[in-house]
Amino acid sequence: MAAAGHHAPIPVLAVFPFVLVLLGIAVLPLVAPAWWESNRNKALFAGSIGVPSAAYLLTLDPSMLLHASEEFVSFIALLGSLYIVSGGIVLRGDLRNTPAANAALLGVGAVLASVVGTTGASMLLIRPLLRANRIRGSVTHLPIFFIFTVSNAGGLLTPLGDPPLFLGFLRGVPFTWTLQLFPMWLVVNGIIIATFYVYDLRVTRQEGVPPSVERAPLSVAGLYNFVFLAGIVASAALLPLGLRELGMATATVGSLVATPRPLRDENGFTYHPIQEVAILFATIFVCMQPALALLNALGPSMGLDSPFQYFWITGLLSSFLDNAPTYVTFFTIAQSLPAEAGTSAIEVLGGPISEALLTAISLGAVFMGANTYIGNGPNFMVKSICDEAGFKTPSFFGYMAWSASILGPIWLLVAIVFL
């Protein structure tokens, strides 16, 4: 959703709490790692910033706090339900840990992300990837490339793939419109997976670790949870606000009742990752409202008129603001512009929008959600699962170094070739 309307001007200093939250998430794990591991301490940090910020929004414009609350409930309902239900699906047997097998898993995940969403695909596949590579020493790159593809770039092809595209669908973008983004999807995911294969092959050869051999046939336990996953996807796609979250909650309860606890234990399932995401993103959603309101106020005067500009500004802001409201903000701004000569426009709620600008906004929001841990909901959850499983992930800034060096040139290529 777009940021709520407001009656009083938003001072620039109102964005400071959001900056403080980002700095805390980036710095505290480095300077106080033992303290930061506890979700209780994360809650103390988040609450110390989020509660005063919520009180400030009440005095500034209560509708902004209401909007933040509604948005967060929808966000955590989707992530939480997918996390819990997928935690009851166990892939048994011994996956190979070869570069080819790992790359194939990323490819499957990239396809699956557009079917059950980046969150659903991430929760289904991250644990099998970790188990397959548990005997290896150098594994830092595995969750990084997984986030690049399965948690982000793979979700470009349908409105179910990533929250920004779903919000576009709710605003009148045809369900099948995103299928025309297939060339961009193929190029980006192809380059990322090819890069991963070359890097993983080099690491494997340097380590000298023999590949695992399948000693047990692959099988899936808890298959009935796919019915509950389908229920969550259907709720997200077909039900209005309120009923949507109720449908997700019903599917989650059904999974909890139907799935034996030993099956979740076998999957290494705990509530720690989703609790961590809920704690931090509750504060993020509150604190980012002034920033989104400023964007809405200043957007029309920013002089944005080309797909190239919309791609970069939507993408870069999606890296730090949640990519769904960022998408809607620039979607709304783009609607105020006429379609360029020789280009087409599509009718959506609120008036037509240039297809060229919509393409740029969609690519920026989905792809560049991979730039940081907080750009898209599944990113932080994957990081938390990996850390809990003993696969140490890079710091906030360390991850950004990876994304800038690997993804930066790819985004430039996308801008030059497709925009």
361 domain-assigned: yes
For the chain, percent helix, then strand, then coil, each to nearest 5? 70, 5, 25
Beta-strand relationship, 90-92 and 345-348: unpaired
Total domain count for the chain? 1
Question: Residue 303, Cβ neighbours under 10 Å: how many?
Answer: 7
Residue 289 lies in a domain: yes
Is 170 within a domain? yes
With the C-alpha atoms ordered 63, 311, 17, 8, is the resulting torsion angle positive or negative?
A: negative
CA atoms of 99 and 396, how far apart (whole Å): 26
Higher pLDDT among residues 314 and 95, named by residue: 314
Which residue did the predictor score with more confidence, 5 or 126?
126
Lowest mean pLDDT among 121-135, 229-243, 295-309, 313-327: 295-309
Q: Pick the more confident residue, 342 or 411.
A: 411
pTM for this structure?
A: 0.77
pLDDT at 23: 85
227 inside domain? yes
Angle between helices 355-367 and 307-318 (to 10 degrees): 30
333 contacts 300 by C-beta, under 8 angstroms? yes
215 — pLDDT class (breaks 50, 70, 90):
low
pLDDT of 2 over the 70 cut: no
Question: What digits encode the pLDDT tens for the residues 112-161?
Answer: 898 878 887 888 888 888 888 887 778 889 999 999 999 999 999 988 78
Average pLDDT on 297-326 reads 80
Quick check: is 3 in a domain?
A: no
Beta-carbon contacts of residue 178 (< 8 Å; ≥ 6 apart): 156, 157, 158, 159, 161, 165, 362
Count of other CB atoms within 10 angstroms of residue 25: 22
pLDDT band at 4 (very low <50, low <70, confident <90, very high): very low
Confidence label for 38 from pLDDT (cuts 50, 70 and 90)? confident
Between 80 and 402, where is the model more confident? 402
Q: Is 5 part of a structural domain of the chain?
A: no
Q: Output the pLDDT for position 192.
A: 96
Highest mean predicted confidence (pLDDT) among 17-21, 104-108, 163-167, 273-277: 104-108
Residue at 6 is within a domain: no
Structural domain boundaries enclosing 161 = 13-418
Whether the per-residue pLDDT at 17 is higher than 60: the answer is yes
CA distances from 272 to 138, 158, 302, 304, 373 (A): 25, 30, 41, 42, 17
Question: In the predicted model, what is the mean pLDDT of residues 22-32?
Answer: 82
Instruction: Report percent pLDDT > 70 for the chain.
Output: 93
Average pLDDT over residues 72-92: 82
List pLDDT tens digits, range 289-303. Answer: 887 777 777 766 677
Q: Give the residue-averaged pLDDT of 263-286.
A: 84
> What percent of the chain clears pLDDT 90, i.e. is strictly above it?
28
Residue 7: inside a domain: no
Bigger pLDDT: 144 or 173? 144
Q: How confident is the model at residue 214 (pLDDT cuts 50, 70, 90)?
A: low
Residue 7 clears pLDDT 70, i.e. is over it: no
The pLDDT value recorded for residue 339 is 60
Residue pair 380/337 in contact by the 8 Å Cβ criterion: no
